[in-house]
Amino acid sequence: MDLIAYLIDHAERGVPAEQVPCVQKLSTAFACPYEYITSIGWAVRNDHHIPSDIVLGQYGQSEAEQKFTYFQRKYPTLNWLMTETYELLPNYYGKQTYFIRKALAYRSPVVAGNGWFAVGNTAGFTNPLISPGMNAGIETAFLAATLTGEVLDVPGSQREEVMMLRAAKYQSWTHDYMMSCLQQMNRYWYNMFRDHRLFEALVPCFWATGVGAVEDIQFQRDSEFTSADLGWVVGSGLDRFQEFAKVILNILEPPVEGSTLTDEIIAQIQNLSQECLLERASQFPANKWGSYLRKYDNQLQRVPGKRQRYDGGSWFATHCVECNIWIHDKIIVCPVCGTRQSTGAEEPVQVCGPLRPRRVALPRLSSGVFFIFALSAPAIMVLVSVILERAGLRYKLL
Ligand SMILES: Cc1cc2nc3c(=O)[nH]c(=O)nc-3n(C[C@H](O)[C@H](O)[C@H](O)COP(=O)(O)OP(=O)(O)OC[C@H]3O[C@@H](n4cnc5c(N)ncnc54)[C@H](O)[C@@H]3O)c2cc1C
């Protein structure tokens, strides 16, 4: 039996996760060596132009290497991270160390038909910012699986007819609704990067109307994915976010390159932001934003001098006590090294730790395999939105 068959067999037999041998043991047993690496790329806005007086040749050989290194060196923190905390793995996947992609964003015009549904990235791609890809991918997979079940439930003679009805439903939800919502969210983010004051005003509104638009932002962590979650779309699918984003985009778009934002426009956005946050705080008083954010209170108001989270935050990710890999905080046995965790996690665990040189290896990300430094400031143009360029590198943490 090979490794894949072995794991599928365990899943079929309902073996609890903690009883499945850890990665290290599986690797030895099945002679499958592995190492954790991280792929790193910059996702650059398509309205960014490298200044004409910059000689890219000084940054490397290929276009991808030159552009990657240009952005790395431009920002001292990036440069520090790349030089002090990572070891470059040349030609890791073949002959190329650096590569570049253009025009990543797309929406497949047809996403379902007789006998098939396109899920995940095959349906479309907006950007890698705030993780819509995997979340939306799960939503499409969930919907496709549900609809497939409905098709299989009817007698064979009716299947084609039902399939086409379900395909139309899927097409409408995925193509018309989900991708539109994500695209609107993309524009919302894209516009806020035009000025740091917009960024400060609009990010909390996204949290308040999208991501955490529930009585308690904890609500989702223990529940199963259900059809109700299909309306979330990483926050972009919620009515209040869509309404708010529409108002904001009516003011800020079109973001003509080089156009200057006036202080009046920014003040208008700041006022709308305040109204939105106060409205949401009164609607959802139980939210504990201040327990998750170091500088904000529970109403998502910035508190001068606040540098620590309030007590009471409940996290969903932690490090393995032995190998330090990120794991879900409810995991009993580390899936990588097999070490039993101290559950109940009275120890504070962090969703995001401070940046520091690390000697542990991070897990390789999904097949997306790109680790994006989300440097969310307008002055830093390596942020993601409509993507034109991407340079990817394989690195190992030192
Ligand atoms: C730079 C970047 C950063 C991202 N960051 C995030 C993030 O932080 N959070 C998040 O949620 N999402 C992120 N995403 C998006 C996320 O990676 C994707 O949405 C997600 O991986 C899509 O999953 P998928 O299974 O649909 O497609 P993929 O992960 O692309 O899987 C498709 C697989 O099919 C294989 N394949 C292709 N053609 C063939 C063939 N002919 N035969 C056999 N196999 C084939 C590919 O090799 C690949 O392994 C990011 C994406 C990019 C590009």
Instruction: Give the pLDDT score at 217.
Output: 52
If pLDDT is split at 50, 70 and 90, which confidence band does 213 have? low
Return the ligand 1 atom nearest residue 369 CA. 17
Q: Ligand 1 pocket check: which of 367, 373, 394 to mutate, most ligand atoms within 8 Å of Cβ?
A: 367
> What residues have CB less than 8 Å from 99, skipping those under 6 apart?
64, 391, 392
Lowest mean pLDDT among 106-110, 200-204, 255-259: 255-259
CA of 255 to the centre of ligand 1 (A): 29
Residue 345, pLDDT > 50, answer no
Q: Which tops the pLDDT comparison, 21 or 394?
A: 21
CA of 371 to the centre of ligand 1 (A): 13
CA of 370 to the centre of ligand 1 (A): 10
Alpha carbon distance 236, 249 (integer Å): 14
Give mean pLDDT, residues 322-330: 87
Q: Which tops the pLDDT comparison, 167 or 224?
A: 167
Q: Ligand 1 pocket check: which of 38, 40, 121 to mutate, most ligand atoms within 8 Å of Cβ?
A: 121
Beta bridge mates, 229 = none
Return the ligand 1 atom nearest residue 372 CA. 3
Alpha carbon distance 256, 276 (integer Å): 26
| pLDDT tens string 9-35 | 999 999 998 899 999 999 999 999 998
- Closest C-alpha to ligand 1, atom 53: 368
DSSP state letters, 112-163: EETTEE--GGGTEE--STTSHHHHHHHHHHHHHHHHHHHHHHS-HHHHHHHH
Residue 361, pLDDT > 90, answer no
Give mean pLDDT, residues 130-137: 84
Percent of the chain scoring above 70 in pLDDT: 81
Alpha carbon distance 5, 222 (integer Å): 30
Which residue, 261, 30, 214, 231, is CA-closest to 143? Answer: 231
Residue-averaged pLDDT of the chain? 81
Residue 69, pLDDT > 70, answer yes
Residues in the ligand 1 pocket, defined by CB under 6 Å: 41, 43, 104, 120-121, 128, 131, 133-135, 137, 366-368, 370, 372, 390
CA of 367 to the centre of ligand 1 (A): 5
| pLDDT tens string 92-132 | 888 889 988 887 888 999 999 999 999 999 999 987 777 78
How many angstroms separate the first and last alpha carbons of the chain? Answer: 35
By residue count, the chain amounts to 398
CA of 224 to the centre of ligand 1 (A): 23
Alpha carbon distance 153, 241 (integer Å): 36
What pTM value is reported for the model? 0.75
> What residues have CB less than 8 Å from 367, skipping those under 6 apart?
none
Residue 24 burial (CB count, 10 A): 15
- Closest C-alpha to ligand 1, atom 6: 128
CA of 44 to the centre of ligand 1 (A): 18
β-pairing, 38-45 vs 387-397, is antiparallel
